[in-house]
């Protein structure tokens, strides 16, 4: 957006959207995990819930590691790392969010997912995972949101038009002011 006034108004809307996406993901993540804990957790009444027999089921997994079960038993380090990533995303992309609805949704998904898993690490000392597809890792709503948000961020970075300042620095020569693609 070239118009600072339009960017200021759109920026406020986009921050609100990012915040609403973040809140929706944290609520959905924590509610689904609470439900799993009561249904099939350590005190649950069954050990699995078949959603699509042979393809998709809910099971209870205590993940003290990172994504895909990596770095097991490193929860305190992973909690600190997740908090650093959350702060980095907020600081690094705060101006970019103002100019892009797509990016604000992507970052809301990532931040909501990261926060949902950090809440688990503080509450339980591990992350509750429960969505299980055969021959795949067990995951949760927060993990899904992070993955979708990262894919959206990647698409944004690959398909966006660089602004005039970025074009100048990439080519080394000044570029005429051209309109930006907007979401």
Per-residue pLDDT for 102 more than 60?
yes
Average of pLDDT values for 94-118? 88
pLDDT of residue 179: 43
pLDDT number for residue 163: 65
Q: Select which of 120, 129, 161, 183 is catalytic.
A: 129
Of residues 172 and 61, the one with the higher pLDDT is 61
Most confident of 5-9, 76-80, 88-92, 113-117: 113-117
Given a contact cutoff of 8 angstroms between Cβ atoms, the answer to whether 170 and 96 are in contact is no
pLDDT of 32: 97
Residue 181 confidence class, pLDDT cut points 50, 70, 90: very low
* pLDDT tens digit sequence for 34-77: 999 999 988 777 788 999 998 999 999 988 765 555 445 555 66
Do residues 116 and 142 make contact, with C-beta atoms less than 8 angstroms apart?
yes
Its sign, for the CA torsion 73, 74, 78, 80, is: positive
Q: Cα–Cα–Cα angle for 94, 144, 79, nearest 5°?
A: 65
Residue range 109-131, pLDDT digits in tens: 999 998 999 899 889 888 999 99
Against a cut of 0.85, is the pTM above it? no
143 labelled catalytic: yes
pLDDT at 122: 85
- Domain regions of the chain by residue span: 4-162
Residue range 133-163, pLDDT digits in tens: 988 889 999 999 999 999 999 999 898 877 6
Tell me which of 69 and 90 has the higher pLDDT: 90
Describe the crossing of helices 101-124 and 4-39 by its angle, rounded to 10 degrees.
Answer: 30
Given 3, 120, 143, 161, the catalytic residue: 143
Q: How confident is the model at residue 26 (pLDDT cuts 50, 70, 90)?
A: very high
The reported pLDDT for the residue numbered 169 is 47
pLDDT of residue 165: 57
129 given a catalytic annotation: yes
């Amino acid at each position: 957006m070239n118009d600072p006034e339009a960017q200021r108004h759109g920026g406020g809307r986009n921050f609100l959207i990012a915040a609403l996406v973040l809140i929706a993901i944290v609520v959905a993540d924590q509610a689904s995990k609470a439900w799993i804990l009561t249904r099939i957790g350590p005190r649950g009444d069954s050990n699995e819930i078949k959603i699509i027999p042979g393809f998709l089921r809910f099971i209870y997994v205590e993940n003290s590691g990172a994504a895909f079960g990596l770095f097991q038993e490193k929860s305190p380090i992973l909690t600190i790392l997740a908090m650093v990533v959350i702060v980095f995303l907020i600081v690094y992309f705060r101006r970019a969010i103002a100019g892009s609805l797509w990016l604000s949704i992507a970052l809301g998904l990532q931040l909501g997912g990261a926060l949902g898993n950090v809440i688990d690490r503080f509450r339980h000392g591990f992350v509750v995972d429960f969505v299980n597809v055969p021959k795949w890792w067990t995951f949760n709503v927060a993990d899904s949101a992070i993955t979708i948000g990262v894919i959206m961020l990647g698409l944004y970075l690959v398909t966006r038009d660089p602004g005039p300042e970025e074009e100048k620095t990439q080519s080394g020569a000044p570029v005429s002011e051209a309109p930006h693609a907007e979401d």
